Amino acid sequence: MMYVPLVDLKAQHQVIAREVQDEIEAVLSSMQLVLGPNLARLEEEFARYCGVAHAVGVGSGTEALYLALRALGIGPGDEVVTVPFTFIATVEAIALCGARPVFVDVDPRTCTMDPGLLPAAITPRTRAIVPVHLYGLPADMECVMAVARRYGLAVVEDACQAHGAESLGRRAGSLGHIAAFSFYCSKNLGAYGDGGMVVTDDPALAQRVRLLRNHGQQERYRHEVLGTTSRLDELQAAVLRVKLRYLDEWNEARRARAQDYRRRLVGIPGLVLPCEPDHARHVYHLFVVRHPGRDALQRHLAARGIATGVHYPLPAHLQPACAHLGYREGDFPVSERLAREVLSLPMFPHLTTEQVEYVSMAIGEWCLAERADALDVAASD
């Protein structure tokens, strides 16, 4: 039996260990640990990578979303439209600003925001839209931006899972007014801990984020606004600068493994493969399939040494923390169905074709047996 992890960070580290160690030692030799030259260079390099003018390093992806919204002036009494099928951080960031999250359902093919549902969710209190580039696939930003222009709304890209993803030839982070990235360790571009980045073409928004991340101060002990502490430290910035040089190569490896999966899994009864629309370039932070018998399939794979994940098993509108918003089961049927069916398969740049083949054979084995059982039951009825 082969063991296949969901993510293998050790394999990635082995490739870059010497480079990373050299950079860490250089930081420790200088002992300039916060707001130093590595962060400044990373901000320049990541802005250039995304195709925007400004990038501001912060403490996490959650804080990147929060500070992007704060920079836009989002606060109590405002409404922000997003999707319920996302990690809870998207919703937390809105709530931390004192604003109310308002949900619209997702497209069943892409698992990202359905722009056709946006107008019905917009009220006089709506200030912004937060589309989520889920699993490494950009949302339909052309349509989202068209709605935003019609209603005069700001758009904050939740690009926390979409480093290097593209839509219509433009990279995630350059598609809205401002965007948030996470550098959590398992992301396509991951730190050795937590980290995040806000990117934008708007110099005023970038400056506002810089103030907010450092207690609202431009000069020491003179605080222009009430901010917080959310600074991407020099050690993480140094690690990320090394890894950024490999990002495109690693994304291409993910795409190659995704194609391997597709070739082996296409046509398997009951299994829905991830969608990649013509306008988009998916970077497969996660390779997520769907099956109505997801839980049984996951148990079958675990018994064969294959690690999987469920991203995400309970939509945000049904989370206990969001009960005060007043949503009920059935309000967002696509998100609720996805939560019952999605299964994340092993996906990382150093996944081998042999591992993909082993996972695919195990899935095919279970799906065909499950279908045969269903046909036998139908015949006996």
pLDDT of 15 higher than 60: yes
| Residue 318 belongs to a domain | yes
Instruction: State whether 141 and 261 are in the same domain.
Output: no
**Residue 169 neighbours by CB under 8 Å, 6+ apart:** none
Residue 349 has pLDDT above 70, yes or no: yes
The label of the residue with tokens 């967002």 reads 332
Residue 210 within a domain: yes
pLDDT of residue 7: 98
- Report pLDDT for 374: 55
The pLDDT assigned to 372 comes to 60
Kindly tell me the sign of the dihedral angle through the C-alpha atoms of 222, 223, 224, 230.
Answer: positive
Q: Which domain holds residue 134?
A: 9-104+111-244
Residues 18 and 50 in one domain: yes
Q: In a 10 Å sphere around its CB, with 0-12 CB exposed, 13-18 middle and 19+ buried, how is residue 149 labelled?
A: exposed
Count of domains for the chain: 2
Both 256 and 126 in a single domain? no
Residues 152 and 163 in one domain: yes
| 257 plus 166 within the same structural domain | no
Here the tokens at position 74 are 């989002």
| Per-residue pLDDT tens digits for 102-127 | 999 999 999 999 999 999 999 999 99
Q: Where among 244, 278, 310 does a domain terminate?
A: 244
Q: What percent of the chain has pLDDT over 70?
A: 97
pLDDT at 377: 47
Position 165 pLDDT exceeds 70? yes
- For residue 379, the model assigns a pLDDT of 54
Average pLDDT, rounded, for the chain: 96
DSSP sequence for 181-212: EE--TTSSS--SS--EEEEES-HHHHHHHHHH
Does position 62 have pLDDT exceeding 80, yes or no?
A: yes
pLDDT band at 381 (very low <50, low <70, confident <90, very high): low
Q: Which of 157-161, 176-180, 217-221, 289-293 shows the lowest mean pLDDT across its residues? A: 217-221
Note whether 101 and 156 are within 8 A (CB). no
Based on the fold, state whether residues 201 and 271 are members of the same structural domain: no
Tell me the average pLDDT across 318-336: 98
Q: Mark whether 235 and 257 lie in a shared domain.
A: no
Predicted pLDDT of residue 369: 87
Q: Are residues 22 and 157 in the same domain?
A: yes
**Residue 5: pLDDT above 80?**
yes
**Last residue of a domain, which of 244, 261, 288?**
244
Q: Is the pTM of this model over 0.85?
A: yes
* Percentage, residues of the chain above pLDDT 90: 95
Question: Which phi and psi angles does 22 have, rounded to 5°?
Answer: -60, -45
- Residues 97 and 121 sit within 8 Å (Cβ to Cβ): no
Based on the fold, state whether residues 235 and 301 are members of the same structural domain.
Answer: no
Say how many CA atoms lie within 13 Å of 304 toward its Cβ: 17
Claim to verify: residue 303 and residue 198 sit in the same structural domain: no
Residue 225's pLDDT is 94
What's the average model confidence in pLDDT over 180-208?
Answer: 98
Is there a contact between 157 and 141 (Cβ–Cβ < 8 Å)? yes
99 conformational bin, left if phi > 0, alpha if psi -120 to 50, beta if neither: beta
